[in-house]
Amino acid sequence: RFFVNFPSAKQYFSQFKHMEDPLEMERSLQLRKHARRVMGAINTVVENLNDSEKVSSVLALVGKAHALKHKVEPIYFKKLTGVMLEVIAEEYANDFTPEVHGAWTKMKTLIYTHVTAAYKEVGWAQ
């Protein structure tokens, strides 16, 4: 859904930037591998919410890699976490209470805040 909603994000992925068919993207092994890494990082953050140093460390690594190596504009983190929130709300509609929504909104803000701090730390310039 992220790439359907924000096709410009595909420019950062040489393996599938020319794919137009969402089903083809879904079947892409490279995309699936990247999605697992993303969800693994988010899982690490969730598991360590009481360890602010670990959370900062994980998200700083993600931010620095995406700023320096991949040259991804930081706004895409806000867009991605927004899409993730939409999908979670749809997939778990019966369990997605206002409290759960609030918790995921805080997580979305936490991720974006830490990642963009890492971008600033490395002197990100578009």
pTM: 0.89
Ordered by start, the domain boundaries in the chain are 1-122
The span from the CA of 73 to the CA of 77, in Å, is 8
The span from the CA of 81 to the CA of 30, in Å, is 20
Outline where the chain has alpha helix (H).
2-5, 22-27, 29-47, 52-64, 75-91, 98-121
pLDDT per residue of the chain (126 residues) written in tens, 0 to 9: 999 999 999 999 988 888 889 899 989 998 999 999 999 999 999 999 999 999 999 999 999 999 999 999 999 999 999 999 999 999 999 999 999 999 999 999 999 999 999 999 999 876
Among 65, 53, 80, 72, which Cα is nearest to 121's? Answer: 65
Specify the CATH number for 1-122; select among 1.10.10.60, 3.30.460.20, 1.10.490.10, 3.40.50.720.
1.10.490.10
H/E element, 125: none
